[in-house]
Amino acid sequence: MALAKKYKKAPIVIAGDVAAALQESEVFSEVTAVPPGFLNCKVKEHFVTQYLSEMRSSAKYGLKEPERKKKIVIDYGGPNVAKPLHVGHLRSAIIGESVKRIARYMGHEVIGDIHLGDWGLQMGLIITELKERKPDLIYFEEGYEGEYPKEAPFTISELEEIYPTASAKSKEDAAYKEKAMEATFKLQSGVRGYRALWNHIIAVSVADLKKNYANLHVEFDLWKGESDVHDIIPEMVQYMKDGGYARESEGALVVDVKEESDTKEIPPCMILKSDGASLYNTTDLATIKERMEKIHPDQIIYVVDKRQELYFEQVFRCARKTKLVDEHVDLEFLGFGTMNGKDGKPFKTREGGVMRLETLIHDINETMYQKIMENHEADEMEARQTAKIVGLSAIKYGDLSNQASKDYVFDIDRFTSFEGDTGPYILYTIVRIKSILNKYKQQGGSLDNPELQDSTSDVQKALTLELVKFGSVIESAYEDIAPHKICAYIYDMANAFNRFYHETKILTTEDEREKAGYIALLQLTKEIFEVCIDLLAFEAPEKM
Ligand code: ARG
């Protein structure tokens, strides 16, 4: 239709010419022109089969290596030390891990950095509360020059209880808050005993975080934190002053970041408070500086709650204006929405408190376990193990299947269902394929490279046409930083497979060649599923 003007012909005439030219095509079995100017093309079965064979024998199922390998830092997770992980941190971990795996699979060099919140007032609060409770600890003895104990003077459970207590106290008691600010200052200026205590807090907390993230199949390459850039802040501040970027404003140091084209007010980026203390901003900017110097990334992606969008806009503008980043470096903010309960409000416990991640995972696994036991008699140990694997898919798929920026409702019943657009449905489909393959093998069939055959039915062809989309789906999930595209893809693929399964006699087919062809198709389908769920960072059990 777009060509009508150029050729001065009616669209249907042009379509007819194209259809005529494609009559001998190797790709299409049928091309017809349809008014007002459409072309309907039917792909040849054999062409698809050949394409699938090539896909099967190539390293990444036909996905090409990038023309230029990029270096990408992904800043995700972002938990705060000594505070229990709650569901708010879950989204960053789940989305970030998937984004990381997708970019890595594409062939880029990707570095995941947890960017621990380990430097702010919360550390001062904890130290203050510890001092109230155990004033005799050696860490508080001024002038002490000996070594400090290797063992921390608290456990993780104590630590997790200390922070909320201290935080509540500081809200009611101004003097207490004053003490906490002083402790923060002492810590940041390097008082030995405070640093030693802080090291214990980090060690105890990080050990616990590692365990929690491992359960979620989330792995970081770097465990850096806000504190790591503390020492380079003075030189960065000096650089900003020398370059004429920063100015004083009511005692504080700021960089203006508003632009003429702004439609809303973008406040200046504050670098130092009037008392000289650094801020969340300052550590983020210094972290950019450090990443540029040590890693030289082409892109940095931040996976953070979308309520921090304006904040990151300021930080990015400031980094560009002060030339902490080169022009070609892409700073990307992937803001995610809130995980809500069924009432549409941010997800809470039944009592209305903050839901701990461990509790949430426990609840999902329990529901999953009940469902597995309802479905069939199973060995308890095995069912528990399976429930864990399937439970993780329920949580992750429930999250990742939504566009990241949208809020979504965390609905345990829906997420754990074996039917519909859910993780367990996807896994159920994969397990079904595994079980057919196993049976085939038990019946004496060979799984060693069976030959793909041309489709003999619409349902089979529909499945093959899903499989060939693999490369373009992964590419577009990468380009748009959008794991939900992979979820939508495997959901379509699961539906296509199950339709094929219900309408095809796979193992009872008499013709051995045809049967082997089905098996080859099943194998490839299983492999594509497995790559995709690995990119979403969950896995399938053997049985369920
Ligand atoms: N710790 C922060 C929080 O809990 C998130 C960190 C996000 N990453 C960053 N580079 N600022 O809000």
Residue pLDDT, tens place only, 296-318 = 999 999 999 999 999 999 999 99
* Distance, CA of 162 to CA of 114 (rounded, Å): 23
Nearest CA to ligand 1 atom 3: 78
- The torsion defined by the Cα of 276, 282, 286 and 288, in degrees rounded to 10, comes to -170
- Beta-bridge partners for 117: 80
CA distances from 363 to 138, 195, 355, 542 (A): 42, 38, 11, 23
Confidence of residue 506 (pLDDT cuts 50, 70, 90): very high
Tell me phi and psi for residue 157, to 5 degrees.
Answer: -65, -40
Ligand 1 mutation target, pool 87, 115, 118, most atoms within 8 A of CB: 115
Atom of ligand 1 nearest to the CA of 89: 4
* Distance, CA of 473 to CA of 487 (rounded, Å): 10
Nearest CA to ligand 1 atom 5: 78
Atom of ligand 1 nearest to the CA of 287: 10
Residues 435-464 pLDDT 10s: 999 999 999 999 999 999 999 999 999 999
How many A from CA of 314 to the centre of ligand 1?
15
Coil, strand or helix at 155:
coil
Atom of ligand 1 nearest to the CA of 308: 12
Atom of ligand 1 nearest to the CA of 284: 10
How many A from CA of 304 to the centre of ligand 1?
7
- The pLDDT value given to residue 180: 95
Tell me phi and psi for residue 393, to 5 degrees.
Answer: -65, -35
Residues 123-141 pLDDT 10s: 999 999 999 999 999 999 9
Inform me whether the pLDDT recorded for 351 exceeds 80: no
- The torsion defined by the Cα of 430, 433, 435 and 440, in degrees rounded to 10, comes to -160
- The pLDDT value given to residue 15: 96
- The pLDDT value given to residue 414: 93
225, amino acid identity:
G
- Sign for the pseudo-dihedral over CA of 316, 322, 325, 326: positive
Nearest CA to ligand 1 atom 6: 78
| Mean pLDDT score of the chain | 95
* Distance, CA of 512 to CA of 96 (rounded, Å): 46
Residues 33-61 pLDDT 10s: 999 999 999 999 999 999 999 999 999 99
- The pLDDT value given to residue 535: 98
- The pLDDT value given to residue 218: 97
How many A from CA of 280 to the centre of ligand 1?
8
Inform me whether the pLDDT recorded for 1 exceeds 90: no
Nearest CA to ligand 1 atom 2: 78
Residues with CB under 6 A from ligand 1: 75, 78, 80, 115, 117, 284, 302, 304
- Sign for the pseudo-dihedral over CA of 145, 150, 151, 152: positive
Angle between helices 484-503 and 423-442 (to 10 degrees): 40
Inform me whether the pLDDT recorded for 350 exceeds 80: no
- The pLDDT value given to residue 85: 81
Atom of ligand 1 nearest to the CA of 80: 1
**Which tokens hold the place of 520?**
């080859």
Domains defined for the chain, CATH in brackets: 4-62 (no CATH), 121-215 (no CATH), 357-535 (1.10.730.10)
- The pLDDT value given to residue 84: 76
Nearest CA to ligand 1 atom 12: 78
- Sign for the pseudo-dihedral over CA of 49, 54, 59, 61: negative
- The pLDDT value given to residue 333: 98
- The pLDDT value given to residue 342: 87
Nearest CA to ligand 1 atom 11: 284
Structural contact between residues 364 and 433, judged by C-beta atoms closer than 8 angstroms:
no
How many A from CA of 34 to the centre of ligand 1?
55
Nearest CA to ligand 1 atom 8: 78
How many A from CA of 121 to the centre of ligand 1?
14
Choose among 490, 515, 377, 339: nearest CA to 436.
515
